[in-house]
Amino acid sequence: MMQSPSEVSLYFHIPFCVKKCLYCGFHSFDDRPELMDDYAASLVREMRLCRKSLDVPLSAVTMFFGGGTPSLMDPVPLQKIIDEAAALFGLCSDAEITIEANPGTLTMEKLSGYRSCGANRLSLGVQSFNDSMLEKLGRVHTAGQAYEAFRSARKIGFANMGIDLINSLPGQTLPMWEDDLLAAVDLAPEHISVYGLTIEEGTPFAAMEENGTLSLPGEEESAVMYERASRVLGMSGYEHYEISNYARTGFRSRHNQVYWRRGNYLGFGAGAHSFMNQPGFGERWHNTPDLSTYMRDCGEGRLSWLEKHGVSLREAMAERLFLGLRMLDGVDLGAFRDEFGVSFEGAYPRQSSIMLGGGLLEICGARLKLSARGLLISNQVFMDFL
Ligand code: SF4
């Protein structure tokens, strides 16, 4: 009997940017724009090599171009990648195809090209609608360009759009943050992501923090900003469905939910991560982050997969919890027991008693969820499962 295809999501990492933002800890380069076309060709080669090595029926349900700045890529190479993915991985007719875009890199022509390629979801990295905040972050765009990019994309026909915002910025006050939230709501995107600024090692912001020239809101202020986002967006019709994500009904990010549910995903590009949930409790691996090694390997017909390993029972249980608890729907405790043959309390007696007793986790019906307080310190909660 023919095996029915397993659903898979495809991620493409585009590690090029116009200029590094001062807070950025992502894997991206601002000094190699000339490599973009060769890099796109490497992605196509990698997909072919990967497909050969994974000899199972697959059906791609989402594609996501992330970075870096994927909107530095022209529509022509994007089309080649999407066409090749469709040929190799059997792209579903209703696949969600997202491209992350920096408002400073978009034109009507480019947006229209992306739409024609089949991209049907645009995630706009606005970060703030306040020009002085954008300047402090070292972003290459203004608030005016963000408004223009959003409106142009709507005109072109993007009916599923997201806006990313960051709070707890240097010098940002609560009223300034509320203005950002309201400006986003006024544009009526289908999806809004809200992140708190984190200081990443090795970035200019880390150095400024070290020498005392970065003035950031305190922990309490940041917690108020987080709660204010939940209130303002909730009152504006957005469902808070994940720690940092809000959506109108029917517009949750399908791609990201695959990560949080331990679904299959294949990552292409330098440093991209992959997970297939078979055999056993699944296998994880990632590509070399070194750009030249990655491109050379693809050119010479080799996959540059590193640290490919089977996930152990213990790791799989922890992943199920710390990924699943990111979603406000929480983790189905019956499904946890069925999958792992042990209850949550049986597998984690110490954590369950401390966190349920201390009010960081709660059980609603048959689901385990982060409480309102747990949401504020989710990373600390998750660390305890590792
Ligand atoms: S645009 Fe994004 S990936 Fe590029 S430098 Fe800025 S934060 Fe980093």
Residue 57 and residue 177 in one domain:
yes
Domain of 86, CATH number, reads 3.20.20.70
Q: Which residue, 259, 277, 294, sits at the end of a domain?
A: 259
302 found inside a domain: no
- Ligand 1 centroid distance, CA of 138 (Å): 9
- Is the pLDDT at 8 greater than 70? The verdict is yes
Indicate whether 85 pLDDT > 60: yes
Residue 1 located in a structural domain:
no
Residue 32 in domain = yes
Pair (124, 210) in one structural domain: yes
What does the pLDDT look like over 300-359, one tens digit per residue?
999 999 999 999 999 999 999 999 999 999 999 999 999 999 999 999 999 999 999 999
Q: What is the mean pLDDT of the chain?
A: 96
Question: Strand, helix or coil at 349?
Answer: helix
pLDDT given for residue 55 in this prediction? 86
The CATH number given to whatever domain includes residue 371 is: 1.10.10.920
pLDDT digits (tens, 9 = 90+) for 121-170: 999 999 999 999 999 999 999 999 999 999 999 999 999 999 999 999 99
> Rounded CA gap, 302 and 294, in Å?
9
Q: Are residues 12 and 132 in the same domain?
A: yes
Distance CA 56, CA 59 (A): 10
Considering the domain architecture, whether residues 171 and 24 belong to the same structural domain is answered as yes
SS3 label, residue 99: strand
Q: Are residue 197 and residue 67 in the same domain, yes or no?
A: yes
Same domain for 252 and 357, yes or no, is no
**Domain-located, residue 118:** yes
- 79 and 166 share a domain? yes
Q: Is residue 280 part of a domain?
A: no
pLDDT-derived band of residue 4, with 50, 70 and 90 as boundaries?
confident
Expressed as residue numbers, the domain containing 370 is 313-383
pLDDT of residue 89: 95
Q: Does residue 121 form part of some domain?
A: yes
In a domain? residue 279: no
Cα 171 → chain centroid: 26
Whole-number CA gyration radius for the chain: 21
As a whole number, mean pLDDT of residues 100-108 equals 97
User: pLDDT tens digits, residue range 245-266?
Assistant: 999 999 999 999 999 999 999 9
Number of folded domains in the chain? 2
Ramachandran angles phi, psi of 10, nearest 5°? -115, 130
Residue to substitute in 26, 165, 197, 198 for testing ligand 1 pocket (most ligand atoms within 8 angstroms of CB): 26
Pair (224, 365) in one structural domain: no
Residues 37 and 165 in one domain: yes
Please say which residue of 197, 232, 259 terminates a domain. Answer: 259
| Residue nearest atom 5 in ligand 1 by C-alpha distance | 20
- From 259, 277, 292, give the residue that closes a domain: 259
- The pLDDT score that the predictor gives to residue 385 is 86
Shared-domain flag, residues 17 and 134: yes
Clarify whether residues 341 and 200 are in a common domain. no
CA of 102 to the centre of ligand 1 (A): 9
Q: Is a pLDDT exceeding 90 seen at residue 192?
A: yes
For 25, phi and psi rounded to 5 degrees?
Answer: -110, 10
| Pairing verdict, β 283-287 and 273-276 | antiparallel
At 1, the pLDDT band (50, 70, 90 cuts) reads low
Task: Answer whether 109's CB lies under 8 Å from 24's CB.
Answer: no
- Residue 91's nearest CA partner among 114, 119, 62, 65 is 62
If asked whether residues 251 and 319 sit together in one domain, one would say: no
Positive or negative: CA dihedral 35, 40, 162, 271: negative
Question: Do residues 285 and 309 touch, judged by C-beta distance below 8 A?
Answer: yes
**pLDDT at residue 2, as a whole number:** 57
Q: CB within 6 Å of ligand 1 — which residues?
A: 17, 20-21, 24, 26, 28, 67-69, 102
CA of 104 to the centre of ligand 1 (A): 12
* Ligand 1 atom index nearest CA of 68: 3
Position 47 in a domain: yes
From ligand 1's centre to the CA of 92, what distance in Å? 30
Residue nearest to atom 3 of ligand 1 (CA): 68
Beta strands in 220-360 (DSSP E): 239-242, 245-247, 265-268, 273-276, 283-287, 305-310, 331-332
